[in-house]
Amino acid sequence: MEQHNSGANMLEVWDVRQGWVPLLEAFLTEGTEYRIRCQGKQPDVRIHGIPLPFYRNNDMSYADFITSFQSGVVKISINDQQYETYIYPDDRKLTMEQFNRMLEEILEEANACYHLSGLETKVSTSGRNRDISWTQWSYIDQTFFQLRQIFLKIERQPFRRLERVSVMMKREKVRHSEQMTLRWLDSKGYGEKIPGHVQNEKKLETMDLYENQVLKQQLQELYRLLGKYETVEHKGVVKKSAKYKGTVKRWLNSSFLKEVTENKGHYTITQKFRKHPVYHLWYQWFDQLYKHKQDSLGFDYPISLKDTFQLYEMWCFMKIVKIFREAGLVLHTNGLYKTSKDGIFLNLAENKESNIQLLSGLSLFYQRSYQYDTKKFFTFTQKMIPDIVIESEAGIIVFDPKYRVPTNLGTALGEMHKYRDGIIHRQTGQRAVKEVYILTPTKAEQADGIRYFQEKYHERFGMGAIQAVPGEADDEMKRKIVTIFRR
């Protein structure tokens, strides 16, 4: 991240937990309203190119803005200077841990499905980059801004201690007759004639402590790791990794770390790492970083990491794929992949109609498109692209992931009527969609009191909601999906 100039430093944002904090250091979450203030001349502030309107109140200028309903990097222009900050997922919906869990499970299922695909080209595991993966890169990209905030706090108040060191000083500088000085005079044989310079003890402050040595070691390892990400064949990753690498280099060259020696070899978690609120966060960040070091299909899978809701849609689809695969209901999965001269790619993207073939002549589609000229099923109004569909000769079952509507399920279900009423079986002229279900990360304690999750509601109306929460038990979802298949 670029160095903050005065234009950036004078902007503050109100945080309900911390009060007024610098805009570029604030922890912003998606879909949240914030207030910005500045003192002095009104700045030109633009978020993704859209200017913020300021208004005066006494000696301060204020502006209100709402973050977009998606997590990721946001570009901010302040007086024509470009900066980047990060918008984090709303913890009421999906946590960062769940975000990374979804990525891991998508790639794990992609690996598991490959042997059913019938493709002959060998799947690449990225050769020299076997120790890096999309899951690890996603973690770095999503949390690097958080790491920066932690480092700034440590840099301002690092661990330090006073050490007694032996120094030679002028005799008039000796304030007290230190025992060390007297012993030194005796050992040198000085009598009443005291030399101009004598040995004395002085207390000096040092930051060369074990925890800081480990911190420097971890930064060196991160610097080398980011160098590996600079070699992958993905322009966006290469550009960002070079930027992050430059930031880590500046940290290593900071005055704080220059006097700290780097720890070598293994390191352990000390009581200071366990109990200090800031150093504990630092240790946790690096502990989580290396949990992603696993063999995977890595960068041969160009999965979008920009929007949380898109990732949730992909995860729901691969979750349903896994349920069918483990139930022995999958014929082959070659529709999930595409081949090119560079290898094999997981082909989950909008309008690609990725699919797997199931038993009994059924197909499971991701982003299936229906319009006026599609063969088996068509629409007589606008083009429709349900996120996930099970399609048979007789009709369609729609699953629509909605990660951001736990408290507004009625409205979301109301929108599903467009699929039930608008997609027609071309041969019979009848409505093609038999059942419609929303997949949502609504927590169990919330879902228990909502009728849309109840089985009798599903049976009566052929629609409703199903819990799909990353990292939590999915027995009910498995039962429901298999039951729908066997009807």
What would the DSSP string read from start to end of 391-453?
A: E-SS-EEEEEE-TT-TT-HHHHHHHTHHHHHHEEETTT-SB-EEEEEEEE---HHHHTT-GGG
pLDDT of 222 higher than 90:
yes
pLDDT at 362 over 60: yes
* Per-residue confidence band for 448, with pLDDT thresholds at 50, 70 and 90: confident
Q: Place 100 in a pLDDT band, splitting at 50, 70 and 90.
A: confident
pLDDT number for residue 123: 34
The neighbouring-strand residues paired with 391 are 363, 396
The pLDDT score that the predictor gives to residue 342 is 40
Lowest mean pLDDT among 164-178, 229-243, 364-378, 413-427: 164-178
Indicate if the pLDDT at residue 340 is higher than 50.
Answer: no
Domains of the chain: 6-88 (2.60.40), 127-158+209-295 (no CATH), 161-173+180-206 (no CATH), 303-486 (3.40.91)
Q: What does the block give as tokens for 75?
A: 């570009």
Residues 6+ away with beta carbon under 8 Å from 158? 207, 212, 256
What value does the mean pLDDT take over residues 157-162? 83
Polymer length in residues for the chain: 487
Tally of CB atoms within 10 A around 18: 11
Please give the average per-residue pLDDT across 175-191, as a whole number. Answer: 61
Residue 301's pLDDT band, with cuts at 50, 70 and 90, is very low
% pLDDT > 70, the chain: 75
For 98, half-sphere exposure in the C-beta direction (CA atoms, 13 angstrom radius) is 21
Contact by Cβ (8 Å): 36, 23:
yes
Higher pLDDT, 371 or 130: 371
Question: How far apart are the C-alpha atoms of 377 and 135, rounded to whole Å?
Answer: 37
Q: Which of 15, 99, 32, 100 is nearest to 24 (CA)?
A: 15
Q: Which of 16-25, 174-183, 393-402 has the lowest mean pLDDT?
A: 174-183
CA distances from 313 to 107, 195, 250, 277 (A): 14, 81, 38, 35
For the ranges 4-8, 291-295, 468-472, the one whose mean pLDDT is highest = 468-472
- Of 5, 1, 29, which Cα lies nearest the Cα of 15? 29
At 408 the pLDDT is: 72
86 DSSP β-pair partners: 73
- Would the CA dihedral through 17, 149, 83, 48 be positive or negative? negative
Give the model's pLDDT for residue 120: 40
The pLDDT assigned to 243 comes to 93
- Confidence category of residue 159, pLDDT binned at 50, 70, 90: confident
